[in-house]
Amino acid sequence: MNSTEPARLSVRSPADMVAAVPYLLGFHPADSVVVVAVRGRRVVFAARGDLPAPGADPGPAARHLAQVVARQDADAATVVGYGPAARVTGVVDAIGDALTAIGVAVLDALRVTEGRWFSYLCAEPSCCPPDGTPYDPAASRVGAAAVFAGQVALPDRAALAAQVSPLDGPVRLAMRRATDRARLRLAALTGRPSTPPAGSPAGGLPADSSRAGGEPRAVRTAGTAAVRAAVRRQRRGERLDDDEVAWLTVLLTHVAVRDHAWSRTDGRDEDISLWTDVLRRAEPDLIAAPGCLLAFAAWRSGHGALAAVALERVLSAHPGYSLAVLLDEALRRGVAPSALDGWPGSDDGAVLRRRRRRPRR
């Protein structure tokens, strides 16, 4: 499941809701169930999950989604299923029952398929004909308002995942060479050999390589300088060159450096652009830290789906990376970015603490 805390959109009809969902998620869902939570008259939260496999019990997923919605202090919710009736009806009914059981009113229960929407709660043919109501998201005022506000609806979730996929071809070759130079530079700084230790993930530096024994002061100093320089350049609209990205990625394997970068990441568009670029250019064994920093920036800005695909890429390569596990759990639990700000833990960044949010400039 991925969740978001999107910009508030006013929705007055089922057609508006159907048009709004892709912009709330950032992509057009398919084979999915979406719960859109409302507080007062405004949409405040959306959560998406895959449809259960045919024959599977929808109860556990339905109860989980209901609990996520309950954490948003929502008054009511609309459930929207995407797919054929045989796969959608059971899970939509189960989610509706779970929401009702926790005191969240179900405003509507919809099914969307092949350019039409159907309501499970409305039996009036004049407004909800049994053969469905055709809709055009591009013609909706809600969609127009979302586009005006800068929100994007990609064709599908695969298109969103492609935004964090590794860059190949000449870029990959150049980054491989730059990373070799960065490893030698780090070895000279630490006095340790640049050969990756046995057992490290993907044949490179281990994801939490600095936890045993602590980092040399020189590494912390170099890492702080590299992070600050990268943030300054990105906020000036400049792009890091290959050696700068490579140097940053090898330094980020040290937890103190990663946590310094974490503390400077507050969800601005520039943060998302920076860590997306670093993640896509990083060598496969060095993606854990930049992927988590991108996920954190996206989560704080309300782009839960982007955070989810970034974490999926990290966890597929480094399933035990503590910060990725922590952020993934926060997303799955529907923790709102306004409720908790991330802050590095005492030794491995595995603690989320409340802290004062820095104002945007």
| Mean pLDDT split into 10-residue runs, the chain, 361 residues | 55 84 91 91 85 92 90 91 96 96 95 94 86 82 72 90 96 97 94 53 42 70 96 92 97 95 88 97 97 94 91 97 94 75 42 38 35
Question: What is the domain extent for residue 236?
Answer: 170-332
Q: Say if residue 145 is in the same domain as residue 14.
A: yes
**Residue 333 and residue 323 in contact, taking contact as beta carbons nearer than 8 Å:** no
Side chain identity at residue 123, one-letter code: A
The CATH number linked to 125 is: 3.40.140.10
Q: Kindly state whether residue 347 falls inside one of the protein's structural domains.
A: no
Question: Do 96 and 192 belong together in one domain?
Answer: no
Contacts of 181 (CB under 8 A, 6+ apart): 243, 246
* Structural domains in the chain (count): 2
129 and 176 inside one domain: no
- 292 and 148, same domain (yes or no): no
How confident is the model at residue 109, as a pLDDT? 97
Same domain, 6 and 148: yes
Same domain, 317 and 226: yes
Q: Tell me, what's the pLDDT at 215?
A: 64
My answer on whether 174 and 315 are in the same domain is: yes
DSSP codes joined into one string, 196-242: PPTT-GGGSS-TTTTTTT---HHHHHHHHHHHHHHHHHHHTT----H
Same domain, 121 and 200: no
- If we measure between CA atoms, which residue out of 282, 294, 280, 303 comes closest to residue 324? 294
Residue 108 φ/ψ, nearest 5 degrees: -160, 160
Q: What's the maximum distance between 2 C-alpha atoms anywhere in the chain?
A: 77
| pLDDT score recorded for residue 315 | 97
Q: Quick one: 49 and 25 in the same domain?
A: yes
Q: What pLDDT is stored for residue 210 in this prediction? A: 45
**Other residues' Cβ atoms within 10 Å of the Cβ of residue 330:** 23
What the block records as the tokens of 346 is 């005492």
Among 130, 156, 182, give the residue marking a domain's end: 156
Residue 351 lies in a domain: no
Q: What is the pLDDT of residue 134?
A: 92
pLDDT of residue 160: 94
Q: Do 150 and 178 belong together in one domain?
A: no
In a domain, 162, yes or no: no
In this prediction, residue 221 carries a pLDDT of 95
* Same-domain check for residues 136 and 180: no
Is 346 part of any domain? Answer: no
In a domain, 260, yes or no: yes
In a domain, 223, yes or no: yes
Cα–Cα dist 118/102, whole Å: 25
Residues 141 and 198 reside in one and the same domain: no
Final residue before a domain boundary, out of 156, 178, 196: 156
Domain contains 344: no
